[in-house]
Amino acid sequence: MAARPVLQGLVIDLAPLRSGRGFRIVFAVRLISLFGGGFRLVALPMQVYAMTGSSALVASVAVVNGAAGFGGTVLGGLLADRLDRRRLMLVSLAVETLVVGMFAVNTHLPGGPLLGVVYLCAAVNGVIGTMGLIAQQSLVPALVGPDRLPAAGALFAVTAQLGAVAAPALGGVLISLGGVGSGYLATCAIAAVATGAVWFVPPTPAGTAAGSEPALRAVADGLAFVARHPVVRPLLLLGFTQVLFTMPTVLIPEFTDRVLGGDAALAGLLYTAPAAGALLASLTSGWTGSVRRTGAIVPAAVALCGISVVLLGLGRTAVAALAALVLLGCCQAVEEILRYSLIQAHTPDALRGRVNSAWLAQATVGGSLGASLMGGLAAVLGPAAALVAAGALGAVLVGAIALTAPGLLATRGVAPALPDDMTH
């Protein structure tokens, strides 16, 4: 009989899915949208490469999409605090349906697809997709309540990992059978289904705190809240540190070749290992809803991410490398689940849109800078030493952030959001 409570404390908590229709719909929309995005992730670069034969132009489309997405974080955060977040999700998905439909139409033009249309659609999709994601994340606390935020974060983490692993593979099969146009049409259908589903999410009150002040002032107020809050500020700094120093995927091809002496099959396994670790941690995350030293666990998990990267750099066998990357994925999932729940709980509802935009911005900017940092270190030190140096530096910086964040370390459980008088 004792084994049952232990298992209940490990298995992912499904309580948010039982808490009401609203979260179930948002969860389903997120899951199917991730699969639609995975199909587009395969179709778009394949189409651009077939049109141009240039990897540089493929990368340029990704840069346009990423830059537009960064702009969408600012606009999306502001709108999510001024408008009905359900309605913002609805509009974003409807526009995304139209954009992907334009991708499909462009594919079947009599004279062949136009590269200018691809750039335009990629830019619009970057802005709109980010806005919808911010609205989605900001809506969740109102649907599940503060006590179920860790469980909601774990369920979101599962959808992200399933989407990352399964969606591109399914998209590749679909495109190989029916061509790039079929990938766009499938994505368009998925977006249309998601749009219809959002109609059934309960309406939420429109934001008011940012509604009567100029846009720049409202954005500045959100950044000021992040900068001075004793829990939110170090959590975002920890997230930035994690994506800056402990994302080694850019070095996997060189590390596989020069250090492990492996081939493309081994590289594929190494790419998959972090997702497998994250999925394992998410499926055994039931304990995250009842743990008391939440604030101390987050920096410990981020520090372990750094140590995992060090172990990867020190490894000289495929087994050691795979184990290090699985550990990295586990630690990334734990810190993401707990950081999400703490940030949502410590942010007043009137500011959640702008704070979630800061969350996405630090991940986007940190990820881009991290890839450049890893590449630069590898050029100077070699791939193995670069991994050791980056992981060690990341772990040291985590310690420094933790030592200057007593408010975070003292946080126990998922505390309620601050009262409204703390938003200004």
DSSP string, 133-201: HHHHHHHHHHHH-GGGHHHHHHHHHHHHHHHHHHHHHHHHHHHHHH-HHHHHHHHHHHHHHHHHHHTTS
CA dihedral 252, 255, 256, 261 (to 10 degrees): 180
Interatomic CA distance for residues 151 and 144, integer angstroms = 9
Q: What's the distance, Cα to Cα, between the start and end of the chain in Å?
A: 51
List CB contacts of 233: < 8 A, sequence separation 6 or more.
226, 227, 405
Q: Which residue has the tokens 């107020």?
A: 221
Interatomic CA distance for residues 121 and 115, integer angstroms = 10
Q: Which residue has the tokens 């697809």?
A: 113
Residue 212 vs residues 166, 368, 422: alpha-carbon distances, Å? 44, 35, 18
| Maximal C-alpha separation, the chain | 69
Residue 12 zone, left/alpha/beta (φ > 0; ψ -120 to 50; rest) = beta
- Could you tell me if 247 and 370 are in contact, meaning their C-beta atoms sit under 8 angstroms apart? yes
Q: Which residues of 83-122 are buried (b: 16+ CB within 10 A; e: fewer)?
A: bbbbbbbbbbbbbbbbbbbbbbebbeeeeebebeebbebb
Tens digit of pLDDT at every position of the chain (424 positions):
444 454 556 788 888 888 888 899 999 988 888 877 777 777 888 788 888 888 778 878 877 887 888 888 888 998 988 888 999 999 999 999 999 999 989 998 888 889 999 889 888 988 998 899 899 888 888 888 888 888 888 888 888 777 776 777 777 777 778 888 888 888 899 889 999 999 888 876 655 554 567 778 888 899 999 999 999 999 999 999 999 999 888 888 899 999 999 887 888 788 888 888 998 998 888 888 778 888 999 999 999 999 999 999 999 999 999 999 999 999 999 999 999 999 998 999 889 999 999 988 888 788 878 888 888 999 999 999 999 999 999 999 999 999 999 999 988 866 554 444 344 3
Residue 343: CA count within 13 A, CB half-sphere: 32
- Could you tell me if 308 and 331 are in contact, meaning their C-beta atoms sit under 8 angstroms apart? yes
- Could you tell me if 15 and 151 are in contact, meaning their C-beta atoms sit under 8 angstroms apart? yes
List CB contacts of 379: < 8 A, sequence separation 6 or more.
none
pLDDT of residue 400: 96
- Could you tell me if 43 and 180 are in contact, meaning their C-beta atoms sit under 8 angstroms apart? yes
pLDDT of residue 402: 95
pLDDT of residue 97: 92
Structure tokens belonging to residue 246: 């402990």
**What is the residue type of 49?**
Y
Residue from 335, 324, 35, 298 nearest 174 by CA:
35
Q: What are phi and psi of 183, to 5 degrees?
A: -65, -45
Residue 105 vs residues 17, 53, 64, 326: alpha-carbon distances, Å? 37, 21, 20, 41
